[in-house]
Amino acid sequence: MIIRILLIALLSFLVVRALRMMVRGLISGAIGVGPQTGARSGPQAPVTKLVRDPVCGTHVAPRTSLALVSGGTTHYFCSQECRDKYRSTL
């Protein structure tokens, strides 16, 4: 009988603890609080919009890609090969 009571108490403790952790995680996620520090996360890197390579369809960051201006429009490429293929179709 005592073993049964101890097992029920242990199970209850584990269930309550799991529910508390789940609720705490939901709340911290909703308000942007980091799980370790309890503070809002620091400055994040600026979001860079990716552009699509017109030849192969790869998405690339304009700052790190190869560019080609054609007809007043800037096209961005993932590689020299894609830029050369596009250039040959002009």
Is residue 70 very low, low, confident or very high in pLDDT (cuts 50, 70, 90)? confident
CB-count burial class (<10 Å; 0-12, 13-18, 19+) for 32? exposed
Q: Which run of H or of E encompasses 59?
A: strand 59-60
Distance from C-alpha of 13 to C-alpha of 6, rounded to nearest angstrom: 10
**89: helix, strand or coil:** coil
pLDDT at 12 over 90: yes
- Percentages helix, strand, coil for the chain (3-state, rounded to 5) are 45, 20, 35
pTM tops 0.85, yes or no = no
Span 29-63, pLDDT tens digits: 777 655 555 555 567 777 889 999 999 999 999 99
Mean pLDDT of the 13-38 span:
79
